[in-house]
Amino acid sequence: MIALSGNKADLTTNRIVEYDEASAYAEENSLLFMETSAKTALNVNDIFLAIAKKLPKDGDAGQAASGGTRLTQGAGQEAAKLSSCCSK
């Protein structure tokens, strides 16, 4: 899952990339696209929710769409190293 976020949507007068251009690029490359604004919070939660909805479900463990591997807790020595590094 790759998302393209057009940030600073609140600065419409300083726009460098037009919405239609960014949207077309996202569509051509199968990307999720939303314009966002960290200042006004426009679509900030929405883009994260849209990403989460497209992520593999638990039943798809190990079958990540990008060919990657889903990490799970308790995966042997590597998990022991990770959990011990951060405990107090």
- The domain limits of the chain are 1-57
Q: What are the phi and psi torsion angles at 35 (to 5°)?
A: -85, 140
Q: Please check whether residue 8 is in contact with residue 37, taking contact to mean a CB–CB distance below 8 angstroms.
A: yes
Q: What's the pLDDT tens digit per position in 57-86?
A: 876 555 555 556 666 666 555 555 555 555
CA distance 45 to 36: 9
pTM of the model: 0.60
Q: What's the pLDDT tens digit per position in 28-42?
A: 999 999 999 999 999
Q: What is the largest CA-CA distance in the chain?
A: 54
